[in-house]
A and B are shown apart, each in its own frame.
Chain A
């Protein structure tokens, strides 16, 4: 082989190595971007669910007051009364704490994506500042209010997840970063999944009380007004149907079967099942990143994105 041929071979070999490396890096970057997108999508779907649980709790309080007003001459008509925390499955304070749990998860996912990108691996000043504030709050045990039911170790997990953003120079390896947070992520997710199930039970029971109040009112209306009450029956049905979608076996009738076709495992699943599957997908995708098996990462991240989309597709409005 001439010296020119040898030189060409070396250049060709080095180019091939560089291309392989580049392609591997691009695939990992792509997976990390999808992981981040998936985490944000799960957070949006989950917070929408919690917000609706909170609103259904408020609706129930309003119905109780409406029933009191209708059945007792002395009861005041409080159309502008504020919703109270007592008896609401997710109070405003709890809603804020759940948002902070997801902030910790999405900040962590943002940081993993940044670690996979070339150049500066720090998040923006705004996100770093958010991570620092959240970390301080969790470290000072100020995240969970006295009346909240979240276990204390959730605060430890939040502190650890946000620490990845603050100490991003320490976590230069994606595999090591994902490994270090697997247990923390799994703990937060397990807590949220449990809360989803109990929220759905609370909703089912709350809807039952409203259905009872509506049935009573409709029966009384029929005794006086006969056919005229049919319009009220239609309105009552629409109102209850929208809320039922958030119960344990609730199905969103506005979502057609094209979503199920894209994710056969979710066909016919209610919103709580969809959310819990999406949350599981988040833990599985992080676990795949922790194992750094590129084929496994791609599959797990694709699964997370599909599950998150299915959870996000659930958009039943609470009021007709």
Chain B
């Protein structure tokens, strides 16, 4: 079973990723064209992958499932960092991009600490 701190880390990371997804939704709604939407869409899919793994870790009833889910999540952290860089390149609204990057970075740090 995960420790209380690990469990809380998973919950906080999940909340952060969901905030990033929500902010990304706003960007998608005002995307300037299909090329920008394509990049945002890829980032959203990567975040969705992290959500699936975080839920798996949150619901894990035994050590083996939690260990497997947290290992997959740590591998996903590098992908999340790449997402941050991709966002900076394509989003003109610096403030909005910074907000999303902040959510992703927070989630990545929480995942790394699992």
Contact = CB atoms under 8 A, between A and B. Distances in A.
A198 interface: yes
Given A87-B52, A202-B52, A212 B41 contact: yes
A44 B69 CA distance: 31
B31 A215 contact: yes
Interface string B21-60: 1001100110101100110110011011001100110111
A contact face: mostly helix, strand, loop, or mixed: helix
A195 interface: yes
A89 B51 CA distance: 11
Interface stretch (A23-31, A32-40, A148-156): A148-156
Contacts of B14: 201
B32 to A, nearest CB: 9
Contacts of B47: 205
Contact of B56 (A149, A213, A215, A217): A149
Interface residues of B, number: 29
B18 interface: yes
A110 to B, nearest CB: 29
B38 A202 contact: no
Contacts of B17: 205
Interface string A179-195: 00000000000000011
B37 A201 contact: no
B34 A223 contact: yes
Interface string A107-141: 00000000000000000000000000000000000
A89 B44 CA distance: 17
B75 interface: no
A299 interface: no
B59 A216 contact: no
B79 interface: no
Contacts of B33: 219, 223
B56 to A, nearest CB: 7
12 contacts: A64-B45, A194-B59, A195-B59, A201-B55, A202-B51, A202-B55, A204-B18, A206-B48, A212-B40, A212-B44, A216-B37, A219-B31
Given A89-B52, A208-B25, 15 more contacts: A89-B55, A148-B61, A152-B61, A194-B59, A198-B55, A201-B14, A205-B17, A205-B18, A212-B24, A212-B45, A215-B28, A216-B31, A217-B34, A219-B34, A219-B37
Interface of B: 14, 17-18, 21, 24-25, 28-29, 31, 33-34, 37-38, 40-41, 44-45, 47-48, 51-52, 55-56, 58-62, 65
